[in-house]
Amino acid sequence: MDLAGNPRLLMVGARGIGGKEGGVEKFAEEFCAHAQSKFDITIITLAPIVDPRFSKVHAVQAPKSSSLRTDKLFYYVWALKECLSGRYDAVLLLGINSAFLSLIIRLRSIVGRRPWIVSRTGSIDYHLPKWGRLAKIFFRFSERMLLFSDSVIAVSPTLQNHLATVGVKSTVIRNGVTHQPVGGREFRTTGLVVAVGRITAQKNYKVLCAAAEHLGEDVEIRIIGGPDRTSEYDRLVNYISERKLSNVSFTGALPRDAVLRQLAEAAVFVNCSIHEGMSNSVLEAIQMGVPLALSDIDANRDLGFNNHFYFAPSDDVALAATLRRALENPNHFTAPAGAFQTWDHVIESVVAEIYKSPYFESTAARTAEH
């Protein structure tokens, strides 16, 4: 513990916090915002922390890599060093690719007290074609190393069921929303359809571009997100150019507050992914009161909406029809934000998993009293 009596916690998995793009980064940001008064937090990053909201959070910045199709090769070398340093009371591992550290941290108990290990899985995507053979082998190995974590968190029932097939017991703690007042329909741009997320093959933006051909010029499709390390963005740009689609545009990556402003203006939000964990973008659209059109995949079905919200992710005609119905009858496609837990409650649940450590019994008792 630090001088103030707060447990020292190391967080591994996020590239950074403070408006960074990505589901892991979103969770890390929310955790730090809500829990930095409870823990002395150190986070491994690829970029410095400049947001003044996180002045109490310590960053260990690793250099970016450009080999093996990842920018996090050195990241995990730096993370391994910190995990074995003996300075931390708990380690929070974010993402399946961080879970391999569980075994190594366990082995530290040979030479001294090891930290309590909490792993959080937000997505299982190693079956997707974007990963090569070696990467898939590593992810499957890392997934099985969850068995060495003291506590495993799954963000959805679908993920929990998957982990059970490999013998991993987990607790479902979903992503959260921020309850806030939203503008009425008069503040929304007529015909504006917004999609949010990095431009990757699994986001399936090609079907959205194809749907644009059926919708006409009265519908504007705006895709918010930066390109990944593949050529998916170039393929989409070529597709749009070949078909002379003037109603599709890309904004590039935007800070999270700018994304929320875009959602506040949108007439409809669309998620057309072929794979998700539990999409923060969908939840942000819900918190902003935006009507929804969602691909019919397990992660989106876990949200529990009626059938009319969903379309087959490979069917551009069905997507266009769903978007048109949502634009014409927005109330029928709007989900109540109150049906979802706030980030306050979500982070409290995660903190409770950390406080299950026998090292924190006294801390947990004090928390319960308050």
pLDDT tens for the chain, residues 1 to 370: 554 578 999 999 999 998 777 889 999 999 999 999 999 999 999 999 999 999 899 999 999 887 766 788 899 999 999 999 989 999 999 999 999 999 999 998 887 789 999 999 988 877 777 777 888 898 899 999 999 999 999 999 999 999 999 999 999 999 999 876 555 555 788 999 999 999 999 999 999 999 999 998 999 999 999 998 788 999 999 999 999 999 999 999 998 889 999 999 999 999 999 988 888 999 999 999 999 999 999 999 999 999 999 999 999 999 999 999 999 999 999 998 788 999 999 999 999 999 998 877 655 555 545 4
Number of domains composing the chain: 2
Site of tokens 């989106």: 300
- 349/332 same-domain check: no
- 306/348 same-domain check: no
In total, the chain counts a number of residues equal to 370
Q: Alpha helices of the chain — where are they, by DSSP H?
A: 23-35, 73-83, 101-107, 133-144, 157-165, 205-215, 232-242, 256-265, 280-287, 298-301, 316-328, 343-354, 361-369
Residues 6+ apart with CB under 8 A from 326: 268, 291, 292, 293, 332, 333
Of 266, 263, 276, 268, nearest to 333 by C-alpha is 268
CATH number for the domain including 99? 3.40.50.2000
- 163/189 same-domain check: no
Residue 2 within a domain: no
Here the tokens at position 351 are 């903190």
* DSSP conformation class of 245: -
- 154/198 same-domain check: no
- 326/282 same-domain check: yes
- 191/160 same-domain check: no
Could you write out the DSSP letters of every residue in 201-244?
Answer: GGGTHHHHHHHHHHH-TT-EEEEEB-B-SSSHHHHHHHHHHHTT
Residue 253 within a domain: yes
- 198/141 same-domain check: no
Does the pTM surpass 0.85? The reply is yes
Q: Which domain holds residue 317?
A: 185-339
- 241/301 same-domain check: yes
Task: For residue 196, give the 3-state DSSP assignment.
Answer: strand
